[in-house]
Structure 1
């Protein structure tokens, strides 16, 4: 009697003995590797196959533990009933073609070997440690994936910008007119702006960069004036915002300073200003006396903090502190440092001295 599973061929050799042959040990190179034949006079239908000598055969005896021996022959033959010969041949062939034992082998290889018990892995400390290890692995995988994707994105973005720049230049040479403007608007809508580079501009890099900075900075200052009473941007913010607008091919801080210097001289659309050591750019209509007047009006009735004045000026607190100290240095403000913090007041000492007839 024989039994067929997805992994073994099991058959009887006696009244109390079962033998099993792993299907992976059967040589299978096509349907011809397994054959059915009948002995003389049509008796004893058989199914014949070939087994590798090195593969073990498990021998199971009733009521005893499993023992293992090795086949001594290459040919394997099982005797079956005549009406089952064709069915067993088909089923055995199908099982050999599916090779389901390979799935078990791959799953086993994925499992980590048992490392045994470790004191460091016990208790709450062990749980926290294992959680940190998993987070570290996950973080590393995310970083690697992000770096790879970002590198690919930047590489492809450069190719797109190069192609767009060539198209724009070709249309300009052929007097494309509205098509050039349409292409520029389309690229800007996608967030792609082909910035001036040293490779593309050559000896004209400085002048072209200055023009590009000016064309970007003037509208930026104008937009800021809509939401702020004082259109001031420090150079650090200019660097970040401008490179973000370029999208790719970032320029260096040194190139930005150089571009700002040339743009100020060439176009006179903005001014560079230094507030207590902090370098800024301001609109060409900017006047320090107007800023000082605004601050004096805000502190007319009561003292105000740097935070309050910065918000009203529309600048960050660091920038606001520099502006207020600049006005204070001009003698128009005084400060009072108390438990509520530092507050600035209008300087009334000159008026007091004048009323008292005292010369300051």
Structure 2
């Protein structure tokens, strides 16, 4: 079945020329850890677009994993060992920011991928939902650390390794090895502590900056706003977060996690108009969970169970691939009507204009305009200034 699936994939993606990629899955090998995760990623072969247009990109200590948003069985991996260096490509007019990955020639033992050869020696990841800056820094750090070269032996291999017991000499050697291991662990602990102290300094500096700004604008801050701000701070934490240790790793874990996420996110969703991007949800949830951070994979799997559990929140994917959470009571017809009315009142609007008018992110503002356009409420005009929407006079005016 797997061989048949790979044949279908290969025939479908013959137009792509990315021989450094391999067909794979999201499983991690022993010693491999997840570092970063971003959605809305398209892959370019050199300067050319490919059919891998919308997916999630996961950075680990060993590789990057691209997973299609629509077909979860389509997963590509690119090993860090093939990367020569990476560079940033800033965003421009109607262009998303990109990370350019320069790669070496794949070896003879490389696993099968979309194609067998390519004329290009670099690949580009296009970040259509931002986040490229931190991803680039994390990617560079993993390439420098080269953790994929430190292979952890399996238990069976360790069992086959010869064990020497040479009396007192053997005991002394064992003690020396234990001391060396302890020293290494202590050194690593102090390195982590140093990083924590550096981060604490940044947080203290940030808090002082915020305090100064509040002090400078003290006359503009009302008592009601102060009370609301304090209430937000008090409601940021989740006192008893659902974890795999407490609820296992099967369906029970995702079920309980989905219920907890629904209760935590319902109020913030109401305050922001009933809809929120999955990226914002991920940041809010992990900020509230404290040390019990949630992986992007677990968040997505639990959100997919909202509808099955009849919870008041739903996971929705727009035609563009943007994934959002929205309340069950969220009325799209009303959103379309209000957007149509607002465009008519203003004469024309861009996504940035609508974002300022209704107080939502630019991404969600664009999706609202595209949704309204889809049902014929408004029309678009693509010009040198960008994408702008106008009232649909074809439906409202009779010639």
**Under a length normalisation based on structure 2, what TM-score does the superposition of the two structures give?**
0.39
Which protein has the larger Cα radius of gyration, Structure 1 or Structure 2?
1
**Under a length normalisation based on structure 1, what TM-score does the superposition of the two structures give?**
0.43
The higher relative CO (CA closer than 8 Å, separation ≥ 6) is in 2
